[in-house]
Structure 1
Amino acid sequence: MAEATSVTPPAIPEPQTHGVSFSEAFSVWLRIALLSFGGPAGQIAVMHRILVDEKRWVSESRFLHALNYCMLLPGPEAQQLATYIGWLMHRTAGGLMAGGLFILPGAICIMVLSWIYAAFGNVGIVAALFFGLKAAVLAIVLQAVVRVGSRALKNDVMRALAAIAFLAIFFLDVPFPVIVFGAAAIGFLGGRAGLPTFTVSAGHGSSGGGDADSLLGDQLPLHARPSVRQSLVVAAVWLVLWLTPVAVLLVAFGSNDVFSQIAVFFSKMAMVTFGGAYAVLAYVAQQAVDHYAWLKLGEMLDGLGMAETTPGPLIMVLQFVGFMAAFRAPGMLPPLLAGTLGGLLATWVTFAPCFLWIFLGAPFVETLRGNRALSAALAAITAAVVGVILNLAIWFAIHTMFREVKPVRTLGISFDMPVLHSVNGWAVALSVAALLGVFYLRIGLLQILLACAGAGVLLHIAGLV
């Protein structure tokens, strides 16, 4: 693909001419939100089918360009993609509507499930239900490795990046941001040099992909033109909205208060969750379980099972973590109220930055459609993320199938080794069945989750778990 020129597409006059009313857009975004099961791959597929194929709001090339930018950002790419396209169609209000609706159903579901879990989580049948869900989660994470890998690892260089990323994070505890930015730098330099191995995902910015046939067309909307003044206003507004609750909690209660810890920790996560939830959940789990002792490892996996069974981004599991953290240390508040506030706080500091990244960066990204170096950086990041997701899959497998692990720390190498005699036979059997259902029988995600949850309940009724 030829290097993109510096010519900015002409702006269309206001008002918008695509003919999609705000109320019509609301119904479409609500429909997408209610169908957003199956993690980022399924959510993006739903958006593509509705927005590109069915409604023809945006073209294939524009959709992929927006997606590629969102994959470079920290945070859930599917939610940010919805925000981006909502912003393109109906300015800031459209972005808030699309991104907010994408979060809302999952936030409500996770909160209700958190209440039930906090009240009845130790009851045998509830624990058995989540025992089954863990097996399904393992199959889903491994499926993510295969899906992303088949798309990203098109040559030996990309496969090597994935392998290096896996070894670095699994055995050497290299921080995830270091892996992401290192891969981005390699890809960017390779793209600038014109190396063919770094152009596997190029071409998304081509304007010849039928843009004129979409309702938005190939024009650059007037509100999408980059402006330094507008960028400063957007940055100021969203930084205040995001960080004011954090500052107030720190000043009022100090850094050791559980609400202050939730606000600070998840604000940090919002800045480093590159590659989506799968890529960072192992780190979040380690910090929440080992460092803060907010919840137990099994409870973290239960929370992931909740997020997998509800609509919305998988990163909504952080709401469950915030809920359990505050529920266990409520202070002067009733535990359920403290948990509710902790979950909402975690959700706010996780998603407020997502709107900042889109509203601040999208106008500039719209002028970069077809940039070779940006495409190459994305390709390298995606390859590295495959290795990171593989790390998460192995971490889940170890802690799902074995009751005990033994930490290995020697010569700079650090990992958890399973204790073989602690193997959980029923967990292994359920996991194998889930893997067969996902990879060979092609059973849908929701059916796999329901089947594994039901199997866990039946095993409990039979007295086997």
Structure 2
Amino acid sequence: MLVTSIETDRTPPSLSIPALFVRFLRFGLLAFGGPVAQIAMIRRELVDEERWISNAHFNRLLAVLQVLPGPEAHELCVHLGMRARGRFGGLLAGLGFMLPGFVIMLAIGWAYVALSPVMGLLTGAFMGVQAAVVAVIVRAVHKIGLHILEDRWLWVIAIVAFGATLLGVAFWNALIAGGAGYALVKTGRYGLALVVAVAAVILAAGLHLYGQPTAREHVDPIAATGALAMLWTGLKAGLLTFGGAYTAIPYVRADTVGRGQISDGQFLDGVAFAGVIPAPLVIFCTFVGFVAAGWVGALAITVGVFLPAFAFSMIFYERLEAVVSDERLHRVLAGIAAAVVGIIAATSVQLGWTTLQRVPSVPIAIAIFLGAFAAVWFWRSRYANAMVLAGSAIAGWILLTQ
């Protein structure tokens, strides 16, 4: 393994394999509040208190992982586990961190499906939660955009991706055009960037004209149902999440809601459940996989989502920082990330519209949305999202139950 002076300044304590697994399992059991709270917990215990790694090296590692797709807190656990006990230690650390959320979400998915007649009595509560989830996603778009949209060209890419998604253009068109276009613009190749943009428009128009998959009705060459499809959906979500787990929402929705495997309401319920349990938010995919394809589907999509997070650290451990320091890669990823912001914004509009079409009272749903949005905007707490979703469920149960 490549060793640098930064890596030798501090080393993890000597832990047995079982002790290492239990250490990160504890992190998983306490992983409330989203990535910021999860990373702060890991920093406090492993950097400040136990001195597994220097603060400067931790900051550098975090910056590298934030450029890569995938849940940063989970990738941090894998990386730190490898520092302690090699690649097997990284595997166990990552499994320990994700296992509690996975098991809890499996149980929730089973109860949601098996007890569906009972769940019908809570329709109003679920509608209230769904309105609040849309508010949480809109707030996330703002947060992600603040970090990603750093210049006017990135804003242009985000706006174009937003409009293209609303018009039904498949998301991969926007991602490719955004990444390539921004890389060309930043190197002064404006003419070639314009050619790429025009080609993307022509391709999107041609695919739409001849009835090819749109952002809402995306179909891959992989089978549209079963474990293989869920694995492929999870892999796309794991490889294309830039800026947080919310960026996985458009891809997973396109492959499940777009195929008619689940409804938008069920999809939003999964996002809501993920927001109140100790887990990376991307664990909502486990719920979606269960509702769409049962136990096998839940396992397959979860493997797909987390596989890239394991792979980036475990396979490219020695070269991770050097590879991601390449400025050319940064430009491509920045363009892709800007397109993702636009895609999520458009998806939030689509989810909001479908939610309004289902609720018995549009004014009440809008009021719950605005209340939830104000709460997540001003309330600074690791438990804010969970409490807002719980409050919205109560409001929906009282006000939207017929």
1:453 maps to 2:363:
no
**Deviation, structure 1 residue 308:** 1.5
Q: Distance in 1 between matches of 2:306 and 2:103?
A: 15
Structure 1 counterpart of 2:372, from 422, 434, 443: 434
**Cα 1:256/1:275, change in 2 over 3 Å:** same
Q: Distance in 2 between matches of 1:174 and 1:97?
A: 37
Structure 2 unmatched ranges of 5 or more: 189-221
**Cα 1:131/1:22, change in 2 over 3 Å:** farther
Q: Distance in 2 between matches of 1:345 and 1:370?
A: 32
1:150 maps to 2:150:
no
Structure 1 counterpart of 2:310, from 355, 359, 373: 355
CA deviations on 1:179-233 (whole Å, 9 max, x unpaired) are 445444455567778xxxxxxxxxxxxxxxxxxxxxxxxxxxxxxxxxxxxxxxx
Name the SS of the counterpart of 2:109 in structure 1: helix
Structure 1 counterpart of 2:230, from 238, 246, 262: 262
Q: Distance in 1 between matches of 2:7 and 2:369?
A: 54
Q: Distance in 1 between matches of 2:69 and 2:342?
A: 17
CA deviations on 1:256-286 (whole Å, 9 max, x unpaired) are 7633443444445444445543223223223
CA deviations on 1:355-394 (whole Å, 9 max, x unpaired) are 2232122321234575544544554444333323322322
1:92 maps to 2:87:
yes
1:22 maps to 2:15:
yes
- The one-letter amino acid of 2:315's match is L
1:392 maps to 2:332:
no
Matched ranges for 1:44-443 at <5 A: 44-123=39-118, 124-171=120-167, 173-176=169-172, 178-185=173-180, 258-291=226-259, 293-326=260-293, 339-368=294-323, 371-403=326-358, 424-442=362-380
Q: Distance in 2 between matches of 1:448 and 1:258?
A: 34
> Alignment RMSD, CA only?
3.4
Q: Distance in 2 between matches of 1:381 and 1:132?
A: 33
**Cα 1:370/1:391, change in 2 over 3 Å:** same
Q: Is the 8 A contact 1:68 1:378 kept in 2?
A: no
Q: Is the 8 A contact 1:71 1:275 kept in 2?
A: yes
Q: Distance in 2 between matches of 1:191 and 1:85?
A: 35
**Cα 1:275/1:11, change in 2 over 3 Å:** closer
Name the SS of the counterpart of 2:358 in structure 1: coil
CA deviations on 1:132-174 (whole Å, 9 max, x unpaired) are 2212212221221222222233333333333233233333514
**Deviation, structure 1 residue 53:** 4.1
Q: Is the 8 A contact 2:62 2:72 kept in 1?
A: yes
- Total equivalences in the alignment: 363
Q: Distance in 2 between matches of 1:125 and 1:70?
A: 43
Name the SS of the counterpart of 1:154 in structure 2: coil
Q: Distance in 1 between matches of 2:10 and 2:53?
A: 13
**Cα 1:257/1:133, change in 2 over 3 Å:** closer
**Deviation, structure 1 residue 47:** 3.3
Structure 1 unmatched ranges of 5 or more: 1-6, 194-253, 327-338, 405-421
Q: Is the 8 A contact 2:125 2:393 kept in 1?
A: yes
Equivalent residue number for residue 208 of structure 2: none
Structure possessing the higher radius of gyration over alpha carbons: 1
Q: Normalization by structure 2: what TM-score?
A: 0.76
Q: Is the 8 A contact 1:278 1:392 kept in 2?
A: no
**Deviation, structure 1 residue 103:** 1.2
Q: Distance in 1 between matches of 2:230 and 2:340?
A: 26
- The one-letter amino acid of 2:83's match is L
**Deviation, structure 1 residue 346:** 2.4
Give aligned-pair identity as a percent: 32
Q: Distance in 1 between matches of 2:147 and 2:182?
A: 16
Q: Normalization by structure 1: what TM-score?
A: 0.67
Q: Is the 8 A contact 1:133 1:305 kept in 2?
A: yes
